[in-house]
Amino acid sequence: MRKRDVLVRKFLSAAIGFILNALAQLFRRPDWIGRVNRYSLRDDAFSGLTGATIVLPQGIAFAAIAGLPPEYGFYTAMITPVVAALLGSSWHTVSGPTTAISALVFGALSGIYTPGSTQFVEAAVTLALLVGLYQWMLGLARLGALVDFVSHSVMTGFITGAALLIALTQVKSALGLDLPRPEHLPEFVTALWNNLSLVDPVSLGIALSALVTGYVVKRLRPYWPNYLLALCVGTLVYLGLGGSDLDVATIGVIPSVIPAFAVPDLGFGSLQDLASPAFAIAMVGLLEAMSISKAVASKSGQDISSNREFIGQGVSNVVGSFFHCYPGSASFTRSGLNYESGAKTPLSAIFSAIFLFLILLLVAPYFAYVPIPAMAGVIILVAWKLIDFHEIAHIFTTSKTESWIAGVTFVSSLAIDLEFAIYAGVLLSLALFLNKTSRPFIGIGAPDPSEPNRPFKNAATNNLPECPQLLIARLDGPLYFGSVEFIRRQFRRFEIERPLQKHCLFIVKGVGEIDLPGAELMIDEAKRREAMGGSFHLQTRTPRTISKLGRFKVMKSLTKQYIHLSKNDAIADIVPTLDQTICATCQVRIFRECPKAPEVKHADEVLEEEPAQ
């Protein structure tokens, strides 16, 4: 009974501490407040206005990619960046709707609900809540370093596949054809080929006008709002060809640009269906946010806190879900433009949301005239810009491993679905990482007599002689449960190849990690060497490693006699314990501590000592 009470108290204490920590993170004073002055306010306001003009067409495009009405892209662009700016770590990163997240939202929900329907919209908002909770919990658990274990090639393969799917989804609107979803690629390609003769020239002309305008403006005037101008040109072409008299759909009237408060759908069935895709979206969102934050920080010189970014992204999605937002993350385009336009603090993202709201109050009625083919042209351009051909070429020409990771992720996104592609890429990158760490390098060393200090070098690569009785092995890599069996097999190989080297000096100076199975391996090897008539010595001088050896009972089992802080001390202690009869006839004598060889007498000296006949 008492033991149960103690456990209950510990659990309640941990839970209360976790909740207090979560609240403390919400109400902490932002560290950038001291940077705010009248000059920074001016710069942030200008950057915010620039960002608002960029996100205006992006909000419509990204909502369309997600299968949502345009206003939900605007809601996400107004609420999410404000919360992320207040709670995140980066001074320049701007959050909101993004292409990759929008594609994942559509992929997660389109198989369950009809895109654009009330159920689809409610599920997208609930998805934002779950995504935010995952990200928030990971931040509170201080797992910000988790993204470091996911290869960048996963994101490259995923974004490339997502971009291709996004572009293919817009072919239907750009050509005015009735085509199946591109997730079913063979059926899509077949239907497209069979219906090429039915292409609507009006829709094609509008889409091309928007696409070409956006591309040309970006090439000639990089800082102009090319997507907005592309929509304007596409709309003018539509109106010039006849407007409402044409059989071309438009975006339509936006009901409201004011995000109203509402509680997301918390039904058990919805939460159960969305739990798995929400985690995939949460991971992609965090990978996007961290890669963008670090990229901008490398230019600004700011230090980024991964845990705070996790919390900022998580809370922004949680809060956004109560204002009709779908999942968002950091935007590379808006973040880069925010920094380049002179933003000084995260207030620029808040100004951007305010300016976007004011602009929408003025221009929202005019979206009724924006044709869907023009939007399709803009989205195809967005998808094209997502594909980093230089990075793809770099991966496939420099690393076979990373090429496999990117390739598997890309193919999975096309052949299966985007959610599975993320899991496949992450699992493959982790499997390859574990395979690499499970096979650490073990080098056989010997002193180099050609240099004054006789430094220890790799015996095989430097063609150095070894001691006939002492094996000196150095481990470069972790000694943990994943590498134990590989190291054990190496020790057995050494026994077969070097049967006379019964004594072993194991150097773990370069070890990054030691766990209990690794410690037990060293204890077992010491017993095995002792049974062979030899000994097992350990050399390390890292305080953290020594502390772990003490905790895992290695020091107690080996005793201080067999644990050394330097190679010189180890050699000085080991050489006198070797078989001196072998040492007496040894021709190698690679250590200073080796006994001197007996003097060899010349033939005439031997004759003089012989008695006269």
Q: Looking at residue 565, which CATH number applies to its domain?
A: 3.30.750.24
**pLDDT above 60 for 431:** yes
Statement to judge: residues 50 and 193 lie in one domain:
yes
For residue 290, is it within any domain? yes
Nearest Cα residue to 88 out of 271, 300, 307: 307
Minimum mean pLDDT range among 5-14, 196-205, 416-425:
5-14
Statement to judge: residues 389 and 288 lie in one domain:
yes
| C-alpha distances in Å from residue 548, one per residue of 512, 513, 516, 552, 560 | 12, 9, 9, 6, 15
For residue 599, is it within any domain? no
Q: How many CB atoms lie within 10 A of CB 192?
A: 18
416: which residues sit within 8 A by CB, 6+ positions away? 424
Statement to judge: residues 429 and 454 lie in one domain:
no
**Residues paired with residue 77 on neighbouring β-strands, in sequence order:** none
Please report how many Cα atoms fall inside a 13 Å half-sphere around the Cα of residue 512, on the Cβ side.
8
For residue 263, is it within any domain? yes
Q: What's the pTM value of the predicted model, to 2 decimals?
A: 0.71
End position of a domain, from candidates 381, 416, 433: 433
Statement to judge: residues 451 and 409 lie in one domain:
no
Statement to judge: residues 427 and 447 lie in one domain:
no
Statement to judge: residues 258 and 403 lie in one domain:
yes
Statement to judge: residues 194 and 267 lie in one domain:
yes
For residue 26, is it within any domain? no
Enclosing domain of residue 167: 35-433
For residue 13, is it within any domain? no
Contact 101, 284 (CB under 8 A): yes
CA–CA gap between residue 119 and residue 115 (Å, rounded): 9
Locate 16 and state its tokens. Answer: 């209360």
Q: What is the mean pLDDT of residues 445-461?
A: 83
For residue 535, is it within any domain? yes
Handedness of CA 196, 197, 203, 205 (dihedral sign): positive
Statement to judge: residues 241 and 361 lie in one domain:
yes
Nearest Cα residue to 108 out of 297, 285, 311, 333: 285
Statement to judge: residues 248 and 334 lie in one domain:
yes
Provide the mean pLDDT of the chain.
83
CA–CA gap between residue 132 and residue 281 (Å, rounded): 10
**E strand map for 459-525:** 470-476, 503-507
Q: What is the mean pLDDT of residues 204-220?
A: 91
CA–CA gap between residue 594 and residue 459 (Å, rounded): 18
Quick one: angle between helices 70-87 and 306-321, nearest 10? 140
For residue 602, is it within any domain? no
For residue 12, is it within any domain? no
Contact 316, 322 (CB under 8 A): no
The total domain count for the chain is: 2
Statement to judge: residues 374 and 445 lie in one domain:
no
pLDDT digits (tens, 9 = 90+) for 295-327: 788 777 777 788 888 888 999 999 999 999 999
Statement to judge: residues 395 and 258 lie in one domain:
yes
User: Can you tell me whether residue 114 is helix, strand or coil?
Assistant: coil
Statement to judge: residues 400 and 446 lie in one domain:
no
pLDDT digits (tens, 9 = 90+) for 524-577: 999 999 999 999 998 888 777 777 788 888 888 888 888 888 888 888 888 888
CA–CA gap between residue 445 and residue 477 (Å, rounded): 16
